[in-house]
A and B are shown apart, each in its own frame.
Chain A
Amino acid sequence: MTTNKHISEEKLMGYIYRTLSDAERESFDKHLSDCPTCWARLADHELRHRQISGSLETAINEVSPSRKMNFAAIAPRLQRRRAQPQFWRRFSLAAPLAMAVGGLVLAFFGLWQNLGAFFVPQPPSPLGTLPTLACFCFVFVSMDQFDRAFAMRSRFIIMAMLAFMLWLGTLVIGLLNILVIRDLVLTACVSAGYKPAETGVAAILAVLVSAVIYIIVIIGGAEYHYKRIGHPSSWKLFSWTIVMQLFIMVLPYFFNGR
């Protein structure tokens, strides 16, 4: 037995894992040479260390990539490589984020501008350029991500943020779409010579139907995108949703001209 204190567990671990300083190691060896207790403790640890190490190694090394995992599977992604200068590559990370944020600001601003129209039906006038511009921003983001998803996906956190912002965007633009559809139906009824009461019913029906579609698209879309964050299919659905919304958004421009 020795006179000094036994070696701490922490030191013992450090000895096994070779993280001790030379001085610590020396004093360790010294203590070890005349303390059978610590010698046994060390042997015990070393044994378990070897077992854990060996088990882990075999558990991992007995798996091998399947035949599906081959170079041909990633070759098309490599070919999408564009010779981008360093500057553009850094910038291209910030661009979709900036576009998404910008689109959201435009969309919310457009919503705020048109708040009055929710309560007072109007002849189908374009809802201003802001929501349309917002749609263009969102289309850029979703198509850019769709394109990227084949070569190299962005970081998960960035994709999740982008997806959330796009979803929020479709939510806002969708509300404005309902507005546009209601006013279009109203005008159509008026010019077809319906009575005010009939026109009112038609407008309410139009709002109801588009509201149901809206809820299905938004809620269903939320689930779809949530399960496929960053997948090409998710960006594709975003692109389609936004293009459709954009289409509804610009409808009044055509009818206005008549």
Chain B
Amino acid sequence: MPNLDRLIERWCAGDEKAAEALYNLHKTRVYRLSFGLLGNIEDAEEAAQDALTYALLHIHDFDPRRSKFTTWLHMITVSRCRDLFRKKRLPTLSFSAWFNRDHAPAPSDLNPEQHTVRSEKRDMVWEAVQELSPSLREAIVLRHWGEHTYREIADIAGCPLRTAQSRVRLAYRHLEKLLTGVGQRQLAEEAI
């Protein structure tokens, strides 16, 4: 595996091969983090590409004394995902639909692909995660999937350490609540 510091140095000096290596080294993790936060394949790809572009464009702003490269990269990814999420959450406004609402097509909100991609068992946990508020989802994904420390989660999410800790706990409590009742029995069977 190529040395990360060396690659960053080379890209800072303008070597595009180094940028490509950095990109290939991190694209899967950035993509997965985006997917964890947005829950949708197309959005995840858009956010991941944007985050990687931003990171590579602003490589001079990366300070290795302040954070690890992945933490910095995840910070950018989270911020891009928030932007995209905000955009998605805008109420749909359509004048054209309003003018001819008689023959406005029914919205097809669910992508069939998204359903078949995952197996049913973990869908339960996954769907519960999707119901969390964005900040709680960020916290739990960064903790469980990203295996970040609380300090790093606080840096990435831009909140105090205590807040990061309580968000993770709160997210867990919510998931627990959502899962008990509906799926406790299934989870128990799975555990045996």
Point out residues on A near B: beta carbons under 8 Å.
10, 13-14, 16-17, 19, 47-49, 51-53, 55-66, 68-69, 71, 73-75, 77-78, 81, 151-153, 155-157, 219-220, 222-223, 226, 229-230
Contact = CB atoms under 8 A, between A and B. Distances in A.
Contact of A47 (B36, B117, B191): B191
A220 B173 contact: no
A13 B41 CA distance: 32
A155 B83 contact: yes
Interface in B136-169: 140-141, 143-145, 150, 165, 168-169
A63 B93 contact: no
A78 B53 contact: yes
Contacts of B129: 56, 59
Contacts of B141: 56, 60
Contact of B54 (A17, A152, A157): A152
B95 A58 contact: no
23 contacts: A10-B169, A13-B172, A14-B169, A19-B169, A48-B179, A48-B187, A52-B144, A52-B175, A52-B176, A55-B121, A55-B122, A60-B33, A63-B41, A63-B44, A64-B28, A69-B45, A74-B53, A78-B19, A156-B86, A219-B95, A223-B93, A223-B95, A226-B93
B87 A229 contact: yes
Interface residues of B, number: 58
Nearest to B84: A156
Contacts of B7: none
Contacts, number: 131
A59 B126 contact: yes
B27 A61 contact: no
B48 interface: yes
Contacts of B172: 13, 16-17, 49, 52
Interface of B is mostly: helix
A223 B179 CA distance: 40
B52 interface: yes
Contacts of B20: 71, 75
A74 B27 CA distance: 12
A77 B16 CA distance: 12
The 4 A-B pairs of least Cβ separation, nearest first, read: A55-B125, A156-B83, A55-B122, A59-B126
B124 A55 contact: yes
B18 to A, nearest CB: 11
Nearest to B32: A60
Contacts of B117: 62-63
Nearest to A83: B14
Contacts of A77: 53, 57
Given A13-B173, A48-B179, A74-B53, 4 more contacts: A59-B122, A60-B32, A69-B49, A151-B57
B57 A65 contact: no
A62 B35 CA distance: 11
Contacts of A219: 95
A27 B49 CA distance: 48
